[in-house]
């Protein structure tokens, strides 16, 4: 048996990663915040709420006891929603030996501070932080379908350690030193997935979806580069790769939420129907504020913000985007 790993967060993604790591021979302590969920996982051998149809192997130990989950773990995987990253880090810190690598897998920004999630973890005293991102639906990873992702960290040793832990015949891991670009790509694509979902809900077709994805990628890169990311990162797995899968798949919560918004449902109704965290909602507000602070033009993000937070009809966004005054419409000059 290899070293033990703690996966904190028993949602769909945490469960899928626990299954992947268990198949590699690791003992995996899968921590659920709610004791009743941990009990259900132990009794049924399946996460019927968040990842139905994927069996949990015997080396996955569901628990609601955080100290027990991280005790002796050589690696901690943080798979909680973005809004819970700081509070979970504070719970985790007293039980975490110095130097333990923490891998964050949430894709978002902290709404209150507008900070990247790795910044939040470092602020909370976690000294070796990596980020796992890329086009990777839990439903497919849990079934062992071929997937490629990227891991970023402040130093190469940490990134390559995480790469070795996760690398599998069905799960290929690349490394990238640009943690800023990787995090912004993973977070901001959810905004564009909301937009493409809204367009699909309105029945606007493939041309509109393609336009939103390509111009959305331009927005993502503009903000990401302005805040220290590298432009090439946005052409990689955590950029265009994640954007493609999130904007085109029905596994995507953000796209599904956008479709329902496009069909006329309220945000409250949509979130209730999706039943899980839709990261793009909070990220839209955080990204819009960052764009305003730094003078970055993000017209798609602005329109999505108006729908989510100001009650603007979805159909009015199309005209607002298409009829904007012509300023600098040279595509290659936007990057």
List, by residue number, the catalytic residues.
189
The pair of structure tokens assigned to 171 is 């799960």
Strand order from edge to edge, sheet including 147-153: 60-63, 27-31, 4-8, 75-78, 101-104, 128-133, 147-153, 171-176
Q: What are phi and psi of 5, to 5 degrees?
A: -130, 140
The pair of structure tokens assigned to 54 is 């994927």
> Are 298 and 216 in contact, with CB atoms under 8 Å apart?
no
The H-assigned helical ranges of the chain are 12-23, 35-44, 66-70, 85-92, 117-123, 138-141, 156-166, 179-202, 206-226, 242-248, 253-262, 267-274, 279-294, 299-310, 314-322
Q: How many angstroms separate the Cα of 177 from the Cα of each of 28, 121, 214, 229?
A: 27, 18, 25, 10
Q: DSSP letter for 319, please.
A: H
How many residues comprise the chain?
Answer: 335
- Strand 27-31 relative to strand 171-176: parallel, antiparallel, unpaired? unpaired
* Interior angle at CA 289, CA 226 and CA 319, nearest 5: 95
DSSP letter for each residue of 105-137: ----B-TTT--BHHHHHHHTT--EEEEEESS--
> Are 12 and 138 in contact, with CB atoms under 8 Å apart?
yes
């Amino acid at each position: 048996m290899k070293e033990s790993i703690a996966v904190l967060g028993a949602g769909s993604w945490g469960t899928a990663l626990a299954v992947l790591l268990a198949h590699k021979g690791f003992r995996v302590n899968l921590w659920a915040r709610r004791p009743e969920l941990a009990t259900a996982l132990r009794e049924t051998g399946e996460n019927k709420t968040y990842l139905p149809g994927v069996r949990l192997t015997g080396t996955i130990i569901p628990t609601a006891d955080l100290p027990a989950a991280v005790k002796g773990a050589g690696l901690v995987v943080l798979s909680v929603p973005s809004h819970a990253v700081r509070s979970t880090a504070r719970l985790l810190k007293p039980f975490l030996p110095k130097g333990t690598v923490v891998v964050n897998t949430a894709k978002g920004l902290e709404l209150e501070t507008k900070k990247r999630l790795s910044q939040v973890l470092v602020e909370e005293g976690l000294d070796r932080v990596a980020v796992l991102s890329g086009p990777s639906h839990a439903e497919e990873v849990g079934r062992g379908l071929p997937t490629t992702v990227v891991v970023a960290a402040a130093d190469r040793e940490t990134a390559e350690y995480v790469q070795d832990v996760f690398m599998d015949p069905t799960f290929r891991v690349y490394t990238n030193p640009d943690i800023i670009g990787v995090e912004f790509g993973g977070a901001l694509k959810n905004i564009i997935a909301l937009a493409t979902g809204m367009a699909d809900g309105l029945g606007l077709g493939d041309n509109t979806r393609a336009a939103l994805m390509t111009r959305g990628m331009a927005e993502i890169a503009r903000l990401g580069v302005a805040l220290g990311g590298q432009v090439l990162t946005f052409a990689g797995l955590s950029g265009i790769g994640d954007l493609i899968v999130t904007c085109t798949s029905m596994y995507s919560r953000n796209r599904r939420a956008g479709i329902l918004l496009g069909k006329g449902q309220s945000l409250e109704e949509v979130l209730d129907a999706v039943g899980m965290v839709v990261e793009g909602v909070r990220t839209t507000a955080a990204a819009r504020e960052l764009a305003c602070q730094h003078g970055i033009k993000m017209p798609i993000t602005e329109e999505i913000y108006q729908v989510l937070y100001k009650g603007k009809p979805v159909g009015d966004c199309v005209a607002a985007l298409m009829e904007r005054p012509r300023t600098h419409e040279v595509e290659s000059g936007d990057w």
